[in-house]
Each structure stands twice: as C-alpha cells, then as structure tokens.
A and B are shown apart, each in its own frame.
Chain A
Amino acid sequence: MTEAVRRDARDDLFIDDAEDEDTQANKYMFFRIAGESYGIGIRHILEIIELQRISQVPDMPAYVKGVINLRGKVIPVVDLRLRFGLPERAYDDRTCIVVADISGATIGFIVDTVEEVIEIPEAQVEEAPRFRSQSGKDRYISGMGKVGEDVKILLDVEALVRDDDARAIAEAGREP
C-alpha cells in the first residue's frame, strides 16, 4: 500500500517534469507528520526514496540526522518531526525521504509517510494566521490551502533551511 501511494506520487511528478513552470506552480506534494498533512511546492521536489542508511554527522543539531549516499551524491537529511519540535518516533516501512532542491542545494526530509500531489489554485490559498504565541514550526508555513472542506498546511521550504540553527552553524563555521 505504501508502495502504491509512493508510485502514484512519483508518476505525478514525472508527468509534471514535462509540463511548464506555470502548471507546476500550483501543485503541492503532501506528506504526513504526526497525523497532520503538509505540502511542499512540487517544483522543489526531486524524488522520493525509501529510508536508507544514514551516516551520522558530528556537531549537528538533533534534527539533522546525518547524510545519505544518493547514488554517489552525499546529501544531508533532516527529520522534519524533530525540525518541528515534535517528539521522535521510530522509523517504519512507511517512513520516506523527500529529496528536495532548495535554491541549488539538495536536501532530504524525513517524513512519516507520503500522501499525494494536489493542485491548489492560488485563489484557494490563504495566508497563514500568525499568533503571538507561535511555536517554532509555524514560522515555516507559507499558507493554508483549501481543498474542498479540508484545509492543508503549505510549507515554505526555503525558510525551513534558511532560518535555522544549522544555517547559523554553517555561517559561523565558514571562513571569512
């Protein structure tokens, strides 16, 4: 069943490759973390792979699980659960790595399970409400998408990697 879902998601992705940017713009790939559905703009997504052996990297925040060998390319993987400050959960056979391209950098996100690709017209996307008491994860929300009666959370992936501790570490570590 996991396989089927994943294949569906992939098929959609590959069809989209041939389409132009405009049609990609309103499509989101949704995945589930702790019972909640999150979407990432499909133009960022390179592929979805099964969980694989992760090599732990020293000196990293807990949500940076390490690096994987993606066909000869070493890419960092981030556990989105931990990134959002949610409790850790053992990985199972539905756990996936969503490989995304974020302004040229390839990064993998570990998610509980991958759901589907949905097109949400711009008119159906509303700005995320901002609360004073906002916890960490809400800062990465780019908007709320309405799909029929459902409201889905859309993530700003760039903010996800830009505005965080790892980035700060990276900046600090870089030579002047």
Chain B
Amino acid sequence: MKQVDEETREILDSFIAEALERLDEAEDALSKLADGGDASGLGSVFRLFHSLKGSAAFLDLDSIRGLTHEAETLIDYYVKAERPPSQESLDIVYQTIDLLRALVGRVQASYGDDGREDAVAAQVAAIRANVEASRADGSGSAPEPAPEAEPAPEADPAPPPERLNEIVLNELVTRDMTERFLAESLDLVDRLESGALGLLSAPDPAESVHSMFRAVHTIKGNAGFFGYGLLEGLCMEAEAFLDRCRKGSTAPNEAFVNGALSHVDALNRAMASVSIVEGGYGGDSGAEGKGPAFPAPAEASAAPAGGAAYKPIGEILVEMGAADQEAVRRALDQQEKPLGELLVDSGAATREAVASALEIQRGIEARPAAPAARGEELQRRDVRVDTAKLDKLFDLVGELITAEAIVVNSPDLKGLRLDHFQKSFNALNKISREIQETTMVIRMIPMEGLFNKMTRLVRDLSRKFGKPVDFRVSGQETEMDRNVIEQISDPLVHILRNSIDHGLESPDGRGAAGKPATGVVSLDARYEGSEIWVSVKDDGKGLDREAILAKAAERGLLKADPATIEDRDAWNFIFEPGFSTAKVLSEVSGRGVGMDVVRKNLERIRGAVDVRSTPGQGTEFVLRIPLTMAIIEGITVRVGDSSYSIPLSDILEFFRAAPGQLTLAADGTETVNLRGDVLPLVKLWRVFGVSGAAERPEDGILLVVKAGGRKAALLIDEVVGNQQIVIKSLSEYLGKIDGLSGCSILGDGTVSFIIDTGKLLSAVLE
C-alpha cells in the first residue's frame, strides 16, 4: 500500500466515488442503448470515459488512464460512424467497465491502480482488436484517424489468445457481485446449518430438508454462474445427499444430520477459498498462487505469493498419492465421520498420510482468511443497515414531528408575542421536515438496480443457452421498499432462468413455429391498485399443461380429474417443491427447486404470483406485491374530520360545481355535467359514513378521478395538499376496508386513509 498524505487521500476518495458513479452511469447508458435507445447515449458514455481518463491521468493512475483511453477510442469510432455498436463491441465495453471497477477497487484498497497489469494489457489488446474489427465492419464509413500514439506503457505485450479468453470470462464478474454472492451464500450456508441442527426436533422435518435443499440449490446456481467449480461441485454433492432424504430413501436421523453438517463445513471452507483465490473479480486470479485478490490494505504489501486454496482433505490425499480418487469418492458418499477416519478405517489410506494431509490443510487455513480478505475498505461507502433500525428511525421521526406540533401549539404559549420563538421554530421545522423526507427516501429505492442486474443476467443466460433474447425492461423507476426488493430478487432470477431455458424455444424451433429467431422477454413493474406488479413475460412455447398434469398425477398431487382442472390450478403445480417436468437437468434450471423459492419468498412478503400461459404464445408471471411501505404522490383531502389521500395519478382535476351543473334524478342518482361530460357524483362522506362533512355538492369540492376505465366526481370538503405519501397497511385487526388501500401519517401526525380509486369506483358504481 502506498503511503499517501491526507490531502491526496481525500482527492483519491473523491475520485473513487466519482469513478464508481460514472461507471454505473455508463453501464446504465449502455443498457439503454442495447434497448434501442438513441445514439446520444453513446456520446454520454464517451464523455464519462473521457472525464475518467482526465482524472486518472491527473492522479497518475496509469492502468485506468490507459484503459479508459482505449475504450474512448472504441466508442469514439461508433459516435463518428453514427452507427450503433455491435454486440461484440458492447461486450468489450462492459468488460472494460468491470475491469475499471476492479481497478478502482484497488485504488480504494491501496491508493494505487497497479498490480493488474496483465488483465489491463489483455483488455487493451482486446479493445484494439475490436476497434480494428469494427472499422473493417463499417466498410462504408469514412477512414478513421489512426489511434493516437499514446500507448499505455503496460499495453505492449499482447497476450496469446487463450489467455485473453480466460480473462474476458473472468472479467464478467464484478467485485461487487462476488461480495454479494459471498454474503448471500454465507447466509444460506448458515441456514443450512441451523436447518441441520434443528432437524431432529423440527415439527416438519420434510419441510426443513426442502428448505436446506433450496439453500444449497441457490448457492449452486450462483456458484455455477460465477464459475466456481469447486463450490458448485460441493453443492451438487450436498444436493444429492439431501435429495436422498427428500425422496425418502434416507431418514432424517442423527446420521443424516452429521452428514449434512459435514457438507456445511465443506461449503464453508470452499467459500473461504473463493474469497482468497478464486476471489474476486480478477482476471489474474485465474492464475493460482497470486495471493489474495483483495488484500486488506494492511496486508497488501505483506501478502505472500504462493498462497494456496483451501482444499478438501480428500483432494489433498489424492494429490499426495496416499489414496485414490475412487476410494475418496466412495468414502464421501457415505460420509458420517470425518473423511480421514473413514479412509483409515477402510484401509484406503494410512493414518500417517491422513495426519500429514491434515497438517497441510491447517497450513492453508491458517493463512489470512476470508473475512480479512473481504475487507470493508474495499466496499463502496455504503452501509448495510438492519431495516428494523430504519423502521425505528422512521417511527421516531413521526414522533418528533408530532411532538414538535404539540410544542408549538402548546396552550401555555397562547396570546404571547413570540417573534424570536417563531423564527427559531421555523428553522427547527425546516430541519425536521428534511429529516422526515430523508428517512422516507432511505427505505425506498427504485427497482432500477435490480432490473439492471436482471439485464445482465439475461444477457449471460442468452449466451449460455445460445438463444438470442430481446430483453425489454420498463417501469424501473417504480420505487419499492428495499427489503421487498431483496425478497423478489431470487424469484426474478429463477423466473428469468426458466423463461430463457425452458420457455423460449431454440432459434430453430422458433423458426419452425413461425416466430422470429430472437425471443422477446419483458420485465415490467407498475403500481396496480394497492399492489406493485412485477411481470416477466416471454413469447416462448408456453407451459406444457399435459406434462404438468402428468407429473402432478405421478407425484400424487392431482386430486381431481385432469380434464376438469382449470389452467390456473394446473400452473400452480409448478410451485410445488421438487416439481420439474424437464427431462434433462441443465446447469441452471430443471430440478424444480426454483419456482418453489418464488412462491416461498412471495408468501414471506404477503404477495402472490399469477401465471398466465398460452400454448405456443408464451408465459407471463406476475409477482403481486402489497404496497406496505411504498411511496406514492398523492393529494390529501378533508371530508368532515377525516383525511383521505388519493393517488395523484388517478386525479384529473378538481373544481367547485355551480348549481346548474348538477342533476339529481328521481332514483337518487346524482351527476355533474363537466364541459358536456356527465360524471356520476360519489359523495365520500356517504360512502365512508363521515359525519360533519359538507353534504351538498355545491358546498364542497368535486375531484374528478379516473381508474379502471371509470370516471367519477368525488365530493370532498376541501383539498389539503399535495405530498409524497408513505403507504402503511392498516392493522390486520381492522381487516380489509372497501375502497381503501391503506393509511398514511401526514406531516402533522394525523392519519389519512388512502383511497384505492379503482376499488372504490367499482364498489360504488355498476
């Protein structure tokens, strides 16, 4: 780690923050570009790289400067040629962004961007090759100026192509993703462990085993995606082990628990090796023995070369020649005791060999372990906060605002001239409002981050399966509680995997079905009444009703005559644990675990999932998530003593009616004529049984609303204001109330009820 003075460190810190932001922006602009956005996006990507290059040059960060320079050249070509970048070029730019992020990570850890020269050189070479190729492609375009003669010093040795390939693959994974993967996997292993420990006393052992299986399966999927072969292999073994119990061939007894725990240990150790050697984002991590990929700053200089990965004891024994592969595998299969003991018992290895293998293993484990390598210093400067704390903060802010109102309205102050007090109060009030707004915003995040992650996933899956996908994303600005977003991330991953793996036909199959070779998968989020709907839709072959019902019958799930089963119920079978109609298990889907996760996670957030499927035309999954903590823009109105809030998007206008505009029919139907539009009049005081409100239409205000294809004028007393409203659900004790989707606390502490316009109108009108 370089020694830097305070000032330089500050500059570097702001550079890091800026760089990470720029890279996010660039990636964002690129994904819009890929969606067919306008070419001006490319210009902004160019500018992002350019300003990054400038800052890097100023700070003597040569690797970053060199890399941004090359990327700039590539993008500049497309900007000048006025054509959209080719798929290959986009890939290269994405990879460059990832590598840049990794380099910025190094800056963060060691205040320098050196140490990744190989990867940088390879990437530079790849970009240059791509620039050449693109020029050759764009035959019609004017000759371009040769790349400036400002080669980055480390750019010279062009690596051999195989090496290039390897790096390119590795660079697909960002540091951030690895960290998230590790955190998530560690949680999952914990779950596996506690599941195993509590299995014998679990009320429903079968469900516990299912949940353990799901945990392992998720780790496996991710490990496969990240290319961690060792971990993936261990997960497969653990899966097979648990599966035996799931299928009923082993009983969930003491021996099973011991076996499961030994899998837990193996996974934990493998995870530690991920963070040290496979670790990272890094191209050069492929070359084993380079030491920690993310040394914590303090260790960076001391990190020993030649660090080795943790290895399972069996592997070490095999390498030592003290036991053969086959014997180890057999022992692993029936593992209930430490592997070494088993091998000794069965005579496959000598006690001495095992002892010395354990020695080696301990030697590896004693090296700076994963937690240190996963040093916080490397993270972006954000903090993971327990949302319970945020809830608490949120409640406290509500209390603060209420208390403030009580102080200022205190009867003790009545009749006093309080010029200074008033001034101080205004200042205080301004601050507390700001605190309130900030607190609200903290919990709500747009779905954009999640959707970007999915864009990336689809890209990778599409290549993996060789199925071109046109991925359309909309509604990413929809805001959702951070917690909820975390809960739907896994379900979305599973649904998208299924859509691409099973839903979409192969390009040939699509051709035969008369569809364009490129499949369309769309991801959308929108507010729908009191819910947020996140939908994933593909135009693939649709669900196979026959196969699903046959499988359901085989598993004894079918209780009625298949012919009488509604589609809806048939589709529900796919959410059963272990349900899969796939004949071939593929690497990422097919064991029928995923959809089970979808339903579980949604139930946890009190949501639901709908499936619609038409044979030959495609499938749509709609995740329906209740708006527990969502924020909407709303108008708050007063009716008698009560406050109601109406989503701004439902409101067309409001006006005070003149007597001439109103008509009361003999049957009691009231309408109002608004510029020739005859609208039904809905008196909110009557609908909600509020007393003390303006009962006659001409005494109040009419609010014109539109929802669910209906239009009406709502009679209210007055409009109080327009504000961001945090939706809270009403107590379960009160149950669901017709026409209301929840409640909200206004700035002055009063509770206002949020009107679900669609439901209100359909309840009141025919």
Contacts and interface: CB of A to CB of B under 8 A. Distances in A.
Interface in B718-746: 728, 730-740, 743, 745
B417 to A, nearest CB: 28
Contact of B735 (A74, A106, A107, A173): A173
A146 to B, nearest CB: 32
Given A56-B690, A71-B398, A72-B394, A170 B735 contact: yes
Interface in A161-176: 161, 166-167, 169-175
Contact of A64 (B688, B734, B743): B734
A67 B395 contact: no
A64 B402 CA distance: 23
B760 to A, nearest CB: 11
Interface residues of A, number: 30
A156 B146 CA distance: 86
Contacts of A72: 394-399, 745
Given A74-B728, A74-B743, A171 B735 contact: yes
A170 B753 contact: no
Contacts of A60: 734
A173 B396 CA distance: 32
Interface in A28-78: 53, 55-60, 64, 67-69, 71-76
Interface string B65-91: 000000000000000000000000000
Contacts of B689: 58-59
Contacts of B735: 166-167, 169-174
A90 interface: no
Contact of B737 (A53, A59, A107, A161): A59
Contacts of B728: 74
B734 A69 contact: no
Contacts of B738: 58-59, 173
B224 interface: no
B643 A106 contact: no
B221 interface: no
A164 to B, nearest CB: 10
B736 A175 contact: yes
A15 interface: no
B255 interface: no
B642 interface: yes
B641 interface: yes
Looking at chain A's contact residues, is the secondary structure mostly helix, strand, loop, or mixed? mixed
Contacts of A123: none
B731 A173 contact: no
A65 to B, nearest CB: 11
Contact of A71 (B396, B688, B740, B752): B396
Contacts of B183: none
B753 A173 contact: no
Given A58-B689, A58-B737, A170-B736, A71 B399 contact: yes
Given A60-B734, A169-B735, A68 B396 contact: no
Contacts of A67: 730-731, 734, 743, 751
Contacts of A71: 395-396, 398-399, 402
A57 to B, nearest CB: 6
B732 A68 contact: no
A107 B398 contact: no
Contacts of B687: 58
A124 to B, nearest CB: 32
Contacts of B643: 55
Given A71-B399, A72-B395, A72-B398, A107 B731 contact: yes
B398 A58 contact: no
A4 interface: no
B44 interface: no
Interface string B377-397: 000000000000000001111
A24 B734 CA distance: 29
A18 interface: no
B752 to A, nearest CB: 8
A58 B688 contact: yes
Nearest to B403: A71
A105 interface: yes
B749 interface: yes
A105 B749 CA distance: 21
Contacts of A107: 731, 733
Contact of A105 (B641, B642, B732, B740): B732
Contacts of A173: 735-738
A151 B132 CA distance: 96
A25 to B, nearest CB: 25
A113 B394 CA distance: 31
Contacts of B398: 69, 71-73
B649 interface: no
B731 A76 contact: yes
B395 A73 contact: yes
A172 to B, nearest CB: 7
B750 interface: yes
A68 to B, nearest CB: 7
A115 B399 CA distance: 27
B740 A58 contact: yes
Interface string B89-120: 00000000000000000000000000000000
Nearest to B739: A58
A102 B735 CA distance: 15
A53 B743 contact: no
Given A55-B642, A55-B643, A57-B730, 4 more contacts: A55-B753, A67-B734, A69-B750, A76-B733
Interface of B: 394-399, 402, 641-643, 687-690, 728, 730-740, 743, 745, 749-753
Interface of A: 53, 55-60, 64, 67-69, 71-76, 105-107, 161, 166-167, 169-175
5 contacts: A55-B750, A56-B642, A58-B688, A69-B745, A107-B731
